[in-house]
Amino acid sequence: MGNSPLRKAGIAVGALLILTWCLLPVAWIISLSFKSQESITNGNPGFLPGDGTFAGWDNYVAAWDNEQFRRAIFNSIGISLIATVLSVIIATLAAYAIARLEFKGKKLVLTTALAIAMFPVVSLVGPLFDMWRAIGLYDTWAGLVIPYMSFTLPLAIWTLSAFFREIPWEMEQAAQVDGATSWQAFRKVIVPLAAPGVFTAAILTFFFAWNDFVFGISLTSTEAARPIPASLSFFVGADPFNRPASLLAAGAVIATIPIIVIVLVFQRKIVAGLTSGAVKG
Amino acid sequence: MKNIVKKYGDGFPAVNDVSIDIADGEFVILVGPSGCGKSTLLRMIVGLEDITSGDMMIGGKRVNDLAPRDRNLAMVFQNYALYPHLTVFENIAFPLRLAGASDAEIQEKVRAASKTLELDEHLERKPGNLSGGQRQRVAMGRAIVRDADAFLFDEPLSNLDAKLRGQMRTEIARLQKKLGITTVYVTHDQTEAMTLGDRVAVLKRGLLQQLASPRELYENPGNLFVAGFIGSPPMNFLPAKVDGTKVELPFGTVEIPADKAERVAGKGLLIAGIRPGAFEDASLIDTSHANLGSTFRAKVDVVEWLGNETYAYLPFEAPPEVQEQLLQLEKDLDGDSLRTQLVISLDGASRVKEGDEAEIWVDTTQMHLFDPASGDNLTVDHENAGQIPVYA
């Protein structure tokens, strides 16, 4: 019953529909990135480039040759990684405390965290712009890392504290009896066990930081800190009245690659980290 | 090895004024029904639970304020608490690595432990892929690699099935004898307590009831609770009226030895405790034994023939003051038997059938008489009863 051919076919068709729905824009961007500039100005609505308008890797090379683009990619990777690492470290420590310790104001911390996550990003841009200019964080990496962290921490803390709660108390107690300090028990037993949670939090944080546009465009003014989504919008090319759509598409595809790589790497960790057999199953 | 007086309380005293002195190399069992504080006591020894008052001494040193890692004790948890992200080898090596042992030393010690526990072929596997018995052995391996001052076991066998439990029980006993290391073992299972321990501490609601060898506990229980807890099937409790050396039981009057009679003289209504094994089918008793006890006639309600022995059940009515005490006792023992009945163990050769009016012989030298109000055993032989703490 559970494995009838009909059922299998149904699942396959369903999956295909969802994939098509989700990936069609991506496929279109890729298609666009391989068309030459003329092909677009002349109007070439087909999915595949028309005769003689196939541009090969030209657009990619052109995008990559752009100094501004390379700076933006570098900024994005740097800012996102720093925000992710800091956010995960702080969230891990905070979540552990929330899951294991009884302290006054625990509820307050959790609800405040949730409230921050619910705050509309746009409403903070104005005040942040003023503040950052006043204290000199405007157009710096730190100026972006801080808001990214504060918006991703709540979710990371909630995710991780759920993971920590799942880990039996006995694990730390066993480690302590075995001669570990609290810190050693945390680092050698608890963190490895919560690895799937840590990586989940890391992916979510990285996504947020990488995809952010509002902060990226409002809190930067030069290549010093402008991340890739904001930078793409400044990508005008030689002729300001004729935006290089295929060049932009190529840039967008390049900007997507790091995130795919990160997901693939972390995803393996998430699966491998799934644990069982700590205690009686 | 230690001398502990400790009180634990957050309003409710989970462990109340318990003192146990454990000798080097001794195997001591903490036993009692659930909620009696035995696990709490063990966790206080290892340092996972704070001690409210009293002193915990290990090897002459007060360890009350030491962290678990500084007490040099090894513990096996009820659910084993293996580290699932580490292989069996690394699990066993974990305490050594924390202690900063060299690789060669770790290899040597882990191999030795795995050999003792027959874990050699599993060393590279993860705990998740092991059976319950194997995980149990890994947990023990983690305990024995370090030269700990003592082993602590927290109901280590309660997660195993009955057959494996029997095997592991012998395994633990063998290991303990081989290593000669001081061991404290917590269990709610009186069979484990009887078979494993050099001495057994029976606890009830945080109070130590009796600390004695299994044989002493069985033959000379200090009070009703210990008497009812130790032994399977449990001891029978009957209302009894003493008059000189004659004791009036619901089934008839029996003679008791003079020294016992002397100690209970003038006490009025008592509770008599007789082990099922002290009874026998009168027709199977040879004459040399017969004069040690008395016989009575009673109607047998149910008979369970097990081959080598027969259990017979004889219902009786108890007067209310005794009834009340027996009900309270059942509650303390986590039991819920509703009827007052006598369980007797006869030889398998007995031909007694259900509904028969049988002639039963009882060995009255093995009978104990308890005070119904306090539950104390009035006929206890203090020479052979270990320690029985007295509470005000």
Task: Tell me the mean pLDDT in the region B267-289.
Answer: 82
Element (H, E) at A250: helix A245-273
Closest residue, chain B, to A176 (C-alpha): B69
Query: Could B82 and A278 be called an inter-chain contact, meaning their C-beta atoms sit closer than 8 Å?
Result: yes
pLDDT tens, position by position, B374-388? 888 888 888 777 778
Is residue B148 less than 8 Å (CB to CB) from chain A? no
Tell me the chain A residues in contact with residue B82 when contact means C-beta distances shorter than 8 Å.
277-279
Q: What is the pLDDT confidence band of residue B162, given thresholds at 50, 70 and 90?
A: confident
Please judge whether A180 and B84 are an interchain contact, meaning their C-beta atoms are less than 8 angstroms apart.
no
Beta strands in A230-277 (DSSP E): none
Lowest mean pLDDT among A75-79, A114-118, A175-179, B149-153: A114-118
Decide if B69 and A195 are in contact by the 8 Å CB cutoff. no
Name the class of domain B224-380: mainly beta
Maximum C-alpha span of chain A: 75
The complex scores an ipTM of: 0.74
Q: Which residues contact B337 (CB under 8 A, 6 or more apart)?
A: B330
Chain B, 254-283: which have a CB under 8 Å from a chain A CB?
Answer: none
- A195: nearest CA in chain B? B85
**How many Å lie between the alpha carbon of B69 and the closest alpha carbon of chain A?**
4
pLDDT value at position B283?
A: 82
Least confident of A224-238, B72-86, B92-106, B108-122: A224-238
Q: What is the separation, in whole angstroms, between the first and last Cα of chain B? A: 28
Confidence (pLDDT) at B130: 87
Question: Is the pLDDT higher at A24 or at A48?
Answer: A24
Q: Is the pLDDT of residue A273 over 50?
A: no
Q: Does B83 touch chain A (CB under 8 A)?
A: yes
- For range A252-261, the mean pLDDT: 87
Taking the CA of residue A231 and the nearest CA in chain B, the distance in Å comes to 43
Please report the pLDDT score of residue B1 as a whole number: 55
What is the least distance, in Å, from the CA of B114 to any CA of chain A?
17
The per-residue pLDDT for A182 is 85
Alpha helix positions (H), B52-145: 88-98, 103-116, 132-144
- What number is the average pLDDT over the span B285-297? 74
pTM, two decimals, is 0.75
CB-nearest partner of B77 from A174, A181, A188: A174
**Distance between CA A94 and CA B336 in Å, rounded?**
47
Mean per-residue pLDDT, A57-80: 86
Number of A–B residue contacts, CB under 8 Å: 88
Contact call for A176 and B126, based on CB within 8 A:
no
Residue B233 preceded by cis peptide, ω within 30:
yes
Q: Contact, B228 vs B58, CB < 8 A? A: no
Cβ of A278 under 8 Å from any chain B Cβ?
A: yes
Per-residue pLDDT band at A137 (split at 50, 70, 90)? confident
**A177 in reach of chain B (CB within 8 A):** yes
Q: What is the pLDDT of residues A83-128, one digit of tens each?
A: 999 999 999 999 998 888 888 888 888 888 888 878 888 888 888 8
Which residue in the set B81, B98, B130 is minimally distant from A168, CB to CB? B81
- The residues, any chain, with a CB within 8 Å of residue B127's CB and separated by 6 or more, are A277, A278, B80, B82, B83, B84, B86, B88, B91, B135, B138
Say whether residue B164 is in contact with chain A using an 8 A CB cutoff: no
The values of phi and psi at residue B93, to 5°, are: -80, -15
Supply the DSSP string of A142-198, one letter for each residue. HHHHHHHHHHHHHHHHHHHHHHHHHS-HHHHHHHHHTT--HHHHIIIIIHHHTHHHH
User: Chain B: residue nearest A184 by CA?
Assistant: B98
Residue B75 forms contact with A (CB below 8 Å) = yes
Inspect the interface and report whether the beta carbons of B82 and A192 lie closer than 8 Å.
no
pLDDT at residue A278 in the model = 42
User: Chain A residue closest to B46 (CA)?
Assistant: A177
- pLDDT higher than threshold 50 for residue A274: no
B137, burial (CB in 10 Å: exposed 0-12, middle 13-18, buried 19+) = buried
pLDDT band at A281 (very low <50, low <70, confident <90, very high): very low
Its sign, for the CA torsion A218, A219, A222, A227, is negative
Cα of B128 to nearest chain A Cα, Å:
4
Rounded CA-CA distance B224/B326 in Å is 9
CB contact under 8 A, B79 and A181: no
Query: In this model, does residue A270 exceed pLDDT 80?
Result: no
Chain A residues touching residue B127 (CB < 8 angstroms)? 277-278
Distance (Å, rounded) from C-alpha A263 to C-alpha A15? 20
Where along chain B do the CATH 2.40.50.140 domains lie?
Answer: 224-380
For residue range B192-245, list pLDDT tens digits in order. Answer: 888 888 999 998 888 888 999 999 999 889 888 888 888 888 888 888 888 888
Q: Is the Cβ pair A192, B73 closer than 8 Å?
A: no
Angle at A158 between CA A142 and CA A180, to 5 degrees: 90
Closest CB from B68, B82, B83 relative to A177: B68
The single-letter DSSP state of residue B266 is: T
Question: Rounded to 5 degrees, what angle do the CA atoms B214, B217, B220 make?
Answer: 140
Q: What is the pLDDT of residue A44?
A: 62
| CA–CA separation, A232 and A250 (whole Å) | 10
∠ CA B260-B266-B272 to the nearest 5 degrees?
50
Task: Tally DSSP H helices, then E strands, for chain A.
Answer: 14, 0
Cα B386 to Cα B380: distance, rounded to the nearest angstrom = 11
Q: How far apart are CA A236 and CA A238, in angstroms?
A: 7
Among chain B residues, CA nearest to A274: B85
Going B6 to B9 to B14 to B16, the CA torsion angle's sign is positive
Ranges assigned E (strand) in B306-367: 309-315, 341-347, 357-362
Q: Is B79 on the interface with A (CB under 8 A)?
A: yes
Residue A279 pLDDT exceeds 50: no
What percent of chain B lies above the pLDDT cut of 90? 8
- How large is the angle between the packed helices A245-273 and A67-100, nearest 10 degrees? 30
Taking CB atoms and an 8 Å cutoff, what residues of chain A touch B99? 179
Q: Contacts for B90-97 with beta carbons within 8 Å, 24 or more apart?
A: B91/B127, B91/B138, B91/B141, B91/B142, B92/B119, B92/B138, B92/B141, B92/B142, B92/B145, B93/B145, B94/A175, B94/A178, B94/A188, B94/B142, B95/A178, B95/A179, B95/B142, B95/B145, B95/B146, B96/B145, B96/B146
Domains of chain A: 66-234 (1.10.3720.10)
| Residues of A whose CB is below 8 A from B67 | 176, 181
Enter the CATH code of domain B2-219.
Answer: 3.40.50.300
For residues A227 and A278, which has the higher predicted lDDT (pLDDT)?
Answer: A227
Residues on chain B touching A188 (C-beta within 8 angstroms): 94, 98
Higher pLDDT, A244 or B307: B307
The pLDDT, as a whole number, for residue A26 is 87
Q: How confident is the model at residue A251 (pLDDT cuts 50, 70, 90)?
A: confident
**Which residues of chain B form CATH 3.40.50.300?**
2-219
Token couple for A157: 């803390």
Round to whole Å and give the CA distance between A85 and B121: 40
Say if the Cβ atoms of B81 and A279 lie within 8 Å.
yes
Tell me: the pLDDT tens digits for A195-208? 888 888 888 888 88
Task: Mark yes or no for CB contact B67/A176 under 8 Å.
Answer: yes
pLDDT of residue B186: 92
What DSSP state is assigned to residue B293? S
Distance, CA of A210 to CA of A251 (rounded, Å): 14
Whether A166 has its CB under 8 Å from any CB of chain B: the answer is: no
Q: What average pLDDT does this structure show over B36-65?
A: 84
User: A19-47 pLDDT, tens per residue?
Assistant: 999 988 888 888 888 887 777 666 666 67
Over residues A270-276, the mean pLDDT reads 50
| Rounded Cα distance, B331 and A225, in Å | 73
Q: Residue A275: pLDDT above 60?
A: no
Cα gap B134→A46, rounded to integer Å = 64
